[in-house]
Amino acid sequence: MAAEERAEQRIGTVLPDVTLATVTPPHDSWRLHEAAGKSRGALLVIWSSVCSHCARYDEYMNAFASNHPEITMVAVASRQGETEDEVRKAMEARRLSFPVLYDTGSAVARQLFTQQTPRVFLVDADSRLVYRGAIDNFKYAEDTEYEAYLEPAIKSLLAGEPVARPDTPSFGCAIASVYYTIPRPLKKA
Amino acid sequence: MANRFQTTIRESTDLIETGLQLIDGLFRQVRSAWRPEPDNDVAVDASGPRNVDGAVSELSNRITRLSTMTALEDVPSMWREVLEDSRSCFSEVEGPRGLGFGAEVALSSGMLATQQVLRGLSSHYTSPDGAFGTFVINVLEVFDDAHVYATLQYRELLERYRQRLERNPGDGAARMELARTLIKCGLYHEAIRELEMARGDARIRAQALHELSVASFRAGRFTDAGTYAREAMELNGSHVRTRLLLWLAAQKGNGYAPDVPAGMRMQLRSGQQPTLLRLEDMASRIGLDKTSGGRGTAVFDYDGDGYLDVLVAAAHGGCTLYKNNGDGTFSDASISSGMDTCLTAFITAIGDYDNDGNPDIFVTRNGFFSGGCSLYRNNGDGTFTDVTEGSGLDGWGPAFTASWVDYDGDGRLDLYVAFNLGSLFERKTKNRLFHNNGDGTFTDVTDAAGLVTSWPTIGSCWGDYDNDGRPDLFVSNSLGRSQLFHNNGDGTFTEVGREAGIDMYGLGSICYFIDYDNDGWLDIVQNVWSDSEDVIHTMQNGDGPPDGQPIRVWRNNRDGTFSQRSRELGITGCWGSMSGNAGDLNNDGYQEIILGNGSPRMERVEPLTILESDGRKFHDVTFTAGLPITGKSHGVNLADLHGDGRMSLLVASGGAYPGDLLTVGAFCPKERVGHYLNIRLVGTRSNRSAIGARVKIEAGGRDQHRLVSGGSQFGCLPFEQHFGLGPVTQSIDAIEIWWPSGLRQRIAGPIAANNTIRITEGDDRFEDVYKPRGVRVGGGRQLELA
């Protein structure tokens, strides 16, 4: 595949208008452009209920709405083979209070050139991409080496300033894996 | 203290091994009387068991897994599952189900049992006294878990434990296992909730507190981790693993709380020897800071711009390819290159198999569990294409290390793939040598080459130990004897491990050829694995226990034999050394040995170790050089990433479990100490990557020797050879290259130091890589054909 065919959206460009439904009743439809336009911006977190990288941000994401009422945040469950029922069970077991959208067939993840969870996309009110990547440097707040990536980006967005580091490496659990295709359990007699 | 039984076993090892091999051979002969050996020894592929051997192995694995997750009172109901599993495992196996089939199952079971006893014998021989039981439990857990986590069955496992707890909320063992599984999944807070309940049970309180400390440490709650560890130690003061957790938690905070008794404290004595080396972690500043599942790395120039780029494989995602921007920073080129779609790769081996000037990538997958290998062709435009299908390299199995080599000297890179065990009861998948046909395809020539391996293998490396111009093969087996195969020069090999004195039992991991004493004869470094207690002993004392197993440095005696010299060289620490590499970090002309340490268990956190060489001995300078406790360090690599003579130490940290997540580290010297020369080679008659070439420089009154390796192990080194020259020497008297084609090329100096140059085979000129000033000629030359 040629390099130009695999080009990610550039920082500053308008993201496609993601339209998905929530996994919990009443399964409202959610549109990125509409949500971003109603507030100061929106945050998409490409996410999975079985991703251990995502799990460490449960508290952060639960508190996001109250910490950042100006930004609409949604998680997008994109992992291959993950059912809506599994997502709902995990939300209940882990007491997750943020909205989760179901990304059938990982279409949105593909559209955003994302292969792993979690990966965040912060857009402004015009749905222009202002930050993409990891939430932090994968340390904990109690760790002296901790460095937040997303929070300074949000601060810059709200202050109307350019984001100093708009694109960071992000990494996590695979959205599609060769191992998910292994028949399991093995074919019964 | 070893008891009489243990002593007897150890003293009779050779006899028992011979007997078991005879039994195994007998079983095989009887079975082959009515059914020949299958052509392909892969008994279990992606679709399940394909023959009796595979079915017997798979059933044994399933029964083991069931036993570990089933409560004693549920055993009667377990038999129903066993019967169902039996039907499932044998459903795809062809052939009539008569008496002959039954006999074949019995013989297959006998052969499997024999192999398992042989592996057990090897483990027993190498385990410290009294530690064999712990070792077996660890092995059981690792191999069980590999299946559970690779196939996402941990959700079912969690559900089973929850169901057990619903039936019997007082089942402390189930709650403990539930919590440990949650920790492995990264669900630390849920684990803490369960363990808080479990600690109410006096029978398991100490263990619950220990696990609470693990979960809290992993969740970044270091104060809580220290508190729990201390409570655990109050109940069990001799638990060294808890002592380490207490120390680790104190390190993350402000040290021990004042009221922590002296008996619970530990002092770090390893890694404290003096050095001029000062390293700092630059990963987040230069854009190399993604998390990694602790797998393989490779350093190579994928886009031909001269700068060394970095590839990092991942346990739970796609590969990351970092493009070197040439200004000290890196950009993530995973998506634009297509390498993001290379999922769950294990080890990466770089080699230009089609000699088009663009280095290609071979990956193995998940060495403790079966998977498919892949070959990615470099298109030369910054992208890669998966060309595995039809290449002949699409084998299934627990492939571990892989290395490119031109074993037959035809100028094309062949490939060797070593296979571990993919499950506890798996039969050995044979290691394979693939011959490059020159048309993009490869042919398995293992049997014709005589490369017979019966032990599970982790490490494999190629080097011409007897200087006859042909690469030989060393195989580091994980549960068994090491093997050395001499290249006969006619496409065949002869095993000479015993004659060479190198066929010791061991828990071998990765290995590599290196001329550590610069005598022109390749030595071998073989990493071996140690359990937690020995690691902690090393951290506390600076040395491992007397019966511990430090890594092995095999000195080449120049007569076809080797001597184990680790302790004489000052290498006495025992680590869980799975990964590692060597390179001259301090530019003094002697190569340091780097150990990437760790083990899957979530409680296990240990340092990456730097053994600095002064030409006579190695000294552990890990912490004085400025390294932190890196955790689990795989994918150790060494490269002059910035082209300025400072060798950086790369490490892909992390472990096998989804919850064991760490970021990549890039430790760079704060300043360059000593002068240097980097040499890159371009083969013409030899393979383009010049894999297998030997390079000697003469400078400052001494010689230095390097091997261009095509071995990946966990860290596929750059083809560029880095020579440190010390603080005084600023020019090189001569460079000698012994190409794989047999050509010996000498470029006489003086050649200025502190540069990176490129030399093409047969051309006595050289050119600068970073500061092009046209091709230049050394002070003289000698070309001779072998």
Per-residue pLDDT of chain A (189 residues; tens, 9 = 90+): 444 455 789 999 999 999 999 998 888 899 999 999 999 999 999 999 988 889 889 999 999 999 999 999 999 999 988 899 999 999 998 999 999 999 999 999 999 988 889 999 999 999 999 999 999 988 887 777 788 999 999 999 999 999 999 998 777 788 876 555 444 333 333
Of A56, A36, A50, the closest CA to residue A121 belongs to: A36
Pair A152, B119: CB distance under 8 Å: no
- Residue numbers in B near A169 (CB within 8 A): 287-290, 320, 332
Pair B525, B555: CB distance under 8 Å: no
Among chain B residues, the shortest Cα distance to A188 is held by B88
pLDDT digits (tens, 9 = 90+) for B25-44: 887 777 777 666 655 555 56
User: Strands A71-77 and A41-47: what pairing?
Assistant: parallel
> What pLDDT does residue B42 have?
57
Virtual CA dihedral for B705, B708, B711, B713, nearest 10 degrees? 60
Contact A173 B662 (CB under 8 A): no
Contact A3 B337 (CB under 8 A): yes
| Nearest residue, CB atoms, B290 vs list A171, A186, A189 | A171
pLDDT digits (tens, 9 = 90+) for B152-170: 778 888 888 999 999 999 9
Residue B626 in contact with partner chain A when CB distance is under 8 A: no
Contacts of B256 (CB under 8 A, 6+ apart): B226, B246, B250, B265
Helix (H) or strand (E) holding B64: helix B52-69
Of B526, B527, B661, the closest CA to residue B605 belongs to: B661
B539 CA: distance to closest CA in chain A (Å): 22
Contact B87 A188 (CB under 8 A): yes
Among chain B residues, the shortest Cα distance to A182 is held by B46
- Residue numbers in B near A134 (CB within 8 A): 290
Contact A3 B314 (CB under 8 A): no
A39 CA: distance to closest CA in chain B (Å): 31
Among chain A residues, the shortest Cα distance to B220 is held by A140
pLDDT digits (tens, 9 = 90+) for B475-524: 999 888 999 999 999 999 999 999 999 998 888 999 999 999 999 999 99
Determine the residue among A80, A178, A188 to mutate to test chain B binding: the one whose Cβ has the most chain B Cβ atoms within 10 Å: A178
- The pTM assigned to this predicted structure is 0.90
Q: Rounded CA gap, B506 and B482, in Å?
A: 8
3-state helix, strand, coil in chain B (%, to 5): 30, 30, 45
Determine the residue among B85, B280, B284 to mutate to test chain A binding: the one whose Cβ has the most chain A Cβ atoms within 10 Å: B284
Pair B521, B469: CB distance under 8 Å: no
B537 CA: distance to closest CA in chain A (Å): 26
User: What average pLDDT score do residues B101-112 get?
Assistant: 87
The sign of the dihedral angle between the CA atoms of B582, B576, B343, B184 is negative
Phi, psi of A179 (to 5 degrees): -75, -20
| Nearest residue, CB atoms, B46 vs list A59, A170, A182 | A182
Pair B552, B564: CB distance under 8 Å: yes
> What pLDDT does residue B34 have?
66
B233: number of CA atoms within 13 Å, CB side?
23
Residue B166 in contact with partner chain A when CB distance is under 8 A: no
Which of B64-78, B107-121, B202-216 shows the lowest per-residue confidence on average (mean pLDDT)? B64-78
- Residue numbers in A near B316 (CB within 8 A): 52-53, 116, 172-174, 177
Q: Rounded CA gap, B462 and B687, in Å?
A: 15
As for the ipTM of the complex, it is 0.76
> What pLDDT does residue B308 have?
97
**Which residues face B611 on adjacent strands?**
B593, B620
B246 CA: distance to closest CA in chain A (Å): 16
Contact B289 A169 (CB under 8 A): yes
pLDDT digits (tens, 9 = 90+) for B539-573: 999 999 998 989 999 999 999 999 999 999 999 99
Instruction: Name which residue leads in pLDDT, B356 or B61.
Output: B356
| Interface contacts (A, B; CB < 8 Å) | 149
> What pLDDT does residue B3 have?
64
Residue B289 in contact with partner chain A when CB distance is under 8 A: yes
Contact A52 B87 (CB under 8 A): no
Number of Cβ atoms within 10 Å of the Cβ of B60:
19
> What pLDDT does residue A182 have?
46
- Residue numbers in A near B663 (CB within 8 A): 137-138
Residue B147 in contact with partner chain A when CB distance is under 8 A: no
Residue B185 has pLDDT above 60, yes or no: yes
Residue B694 in contact with partner chain A when CB distance is under 8 A: no
Number of Cβ atoms within 10 Å of the Cβ of B77:
10
Pair A108, A20: CB distance under 8 Å: yes
Virtual CA dihedral for A154, A158, A163, A165, nearest 10 degrees? -10
B214 CA: distance to closest CA in chain A (Å): 15
Q: Rounded CA gap, B397 and B310, in Å?
A: 27
Residue B77 has pLDDT above 90, yes or no: no
Angle at B588 between CA B583 and CA B591, to 5 degrees: 25
Contact A141 B220 (CB under 8 A): yes
